[in-house]
Structure 1
Amino acid sequence: MTTTATGGVHLVDHPLVQHKITLMRRKEASTNSFRRLAHEVSALMAYEVLRDTALQEVEVQTPMETTTGKVVDGKKLVFVSILRAGTGILEGLLEVVPSARVGHIGLYRDPKTLVAVEYYFKMPGDLHERDVVVLDPLLATGNSAIAAVDRLREYHPKSIKFVCLLTCPEGIAAMAEAHPDVPIYTAAVDRELDEHGYILPGLGDVADRIFGTK
């Protein structure tokens, strides 16, 4: 799998990722199908998101002899889900790194101002010793992503990355202005936002489609 990087944006262009994103776009995709595809895409994207993850050497006994190998210290990695939609891609990454810690940030978008309002925040301890990967299926206006990163920076994590399934030029520009050092990993950069802050052509309301709500 490879990524195409433009500035701080890493576009995961693997054929399987692109295939599954296309299936997710279909209006007629069932809740079960949409949820399963979100899980599969996020698991595939995890390999690129974590490509530069630090390794440590350990001694291991093979059936033939003692040798050394390299392992990821998952305890130093934190996946931060922006509620509620982030939950839909969290499990895919945990499937790849099940020992990672998990944090949650509850944010909702004010329908009039589109400003992100926080209602919940719970993180593992010693965040300053950990690498953080923030998860939200869509980077649209960028308000929720910026608010989440603002809050996390109060705890001085070692590094922060942002992972989404889709984004758009407006969201990229907003994040680049607020947090130019935070790389964005995405499967697609769509055309634009509409007047309500939804990505076009987009995926619709991802949380509603994952959880079967309206």
Structure 2
Amino acid sequence: MRLHVVDHPLVAHKLTVLRDVGTDSPTFRRLTDELVTLLAYEATRGVRVEAHDIVTPVAPTTGVHLSAPKPLVVPILRAGLGMLDGMTRLVPTAEVGFLGMIRDEETLKASTYANRLPESLTGRQVFLLDPMLATGGTLAAAMHFVFDRGADDVTAICLLAAPEGIAAVEAEFGAEAPVTIVTAALDERLNEHGYIVPGLGDAGDRLYGVV
């Protein structure tokens, strides 16, 4: 498993505004979108490409384009949906699936309530979008879901991560697993309610309001 904490002043700046309790939902949504695009740039460094011959206005040359099958982007509902536009802006030809997961607030265990994914993900690179890697239960369950369908490489893009969540995912899959976690910051810890500290609160509520 690989962890990449993106160290960039624009990432740090946008994350600081996201953390601020005074940031309203429209601003939070816009900054999430911008921040995800920056994170996606780092997360796609290992995206698979193949040689592609073209002709420029001057001469023939060989470049690259994305290999088949196309990458699959999967936001984990509901909060992950707020990250989708930022990701697909960078990789517009990627296919998109959806995975609905919910965490029991008492047991902190995750369960799947909906999915819109191909039955076979054999040979696919999958990019999971989930704002908060807290206990790691939801993300680990989502990873198992796509690996069970044949995915052979999974990258999770998270706005924030807690050490406990990172440790839980690594314990679940092992250090050599084809798993990458890309995040804007590794925070201090989880509190007694399973929230990341200092964190930014409930990402879903801050994106869409309390429902």
| TM-score, normalisation: structure 1 | 0.92
**Amino acid across the alignment from 2:15:** I
CA drift of 1:59 comes to 1.9
CA drift of 1:195 comes to 1.1
Q: Which moved more, 1:124-133 or 1:180-189?
A: 124-133
Cα 1:86–1:111 change in 2 (3 A) is: same
Which SS does the other structure have where 2:84 is aligned?
helix
Maintained 8 Å contact 1:74/1:98: no
**Unmatched 5+ residue regions in structure 2?**
none
For the residues of structure 2 that align with 1:100 and 1:23, how far apart are their CA atoms? 29
Maintained 8 Å contact 2:53/2:60: yes
For the residues of structure 2 that align with 1:45 and 1:157, how far apart are their CA atoms? 21
Counterpart residue number, 2:97: 103
Q: How does 1:1-214 map to 2 (within 5 A)?
A: 8-73=2-67, 75-124=69-118, 126-180=120-174, 181=177, 182-214=179-211
For the residues of structure 1 that align with 2:3 and 2:81, how far apart are their CA atoms? 22
CA drift of 1:73 comes to 3.5
Report Cα offsets for 1:127-166 as digits up to 9, x if no partner. Answer: 1121011110000011101111111121121211111010
CA drift of 1:74 comes to 7.2
What root-mean-square deviation, in Å, do the aligned CA atoms of Structure 1 and Structure 2 show? Answer: 1.5
**Unmatched 5+ residue regions in structure 1?**
1-6
Report Cα offsets for 1:53-92 as digits up to 9, x if no partner. Answer: 1221222221222222112247520111111111111211
**Amino acid across the alignment from 1:103:** G
Maintained 8 Å contact 1:12/1:186: yes
Maintained 8 Å contact 1:107/1:144: yes
Maintained 8 Å contact 2:69/2:123: no
Report Cα offsets for 1:150-189 as digits up to 9, x if no partner. Answer: 1112112121111101011111111110023222111101
CA drift of 1:125 comes to 5.2
Maintained 8 Å contact 1:75/1:100: no
* Structure showing greater relative contact order (alpha-carbon pairs closer than 8 Å, 6 or more residues apart): 2
Which SS does the other structure have where 2:126 is aligned?
strand
CA drift of 1:106 comes to 0.6
For the residues of structure 2 that align with 1:66 and 1:91, how far apart are their CA atoms? 34
Maintained 8 Å contact 2:40/2:157: no
CA drift of 1:27 comes to 0.5
CA drift of 1:17 comes to 0.7
Which SS does the other structure have where 2:57 is aligned?
coil
Maintained 8 Å contact 1:31/1:210: yes
Report Cα offsets for 1:31-60 as digits up to 9, x if no partner. Answer: 111001110011011111011212212222
For the residues of structure 2 that align with 1:8 and 1:66, how far apart are their CA atoms? 38
For the residues of structure 2 that align with 1:95 and 1:124, how far apart are their CA atoms? 22
Maintained 8 Å contact 2:127/2:157: yes
Counterpart residue number, 1:3: none
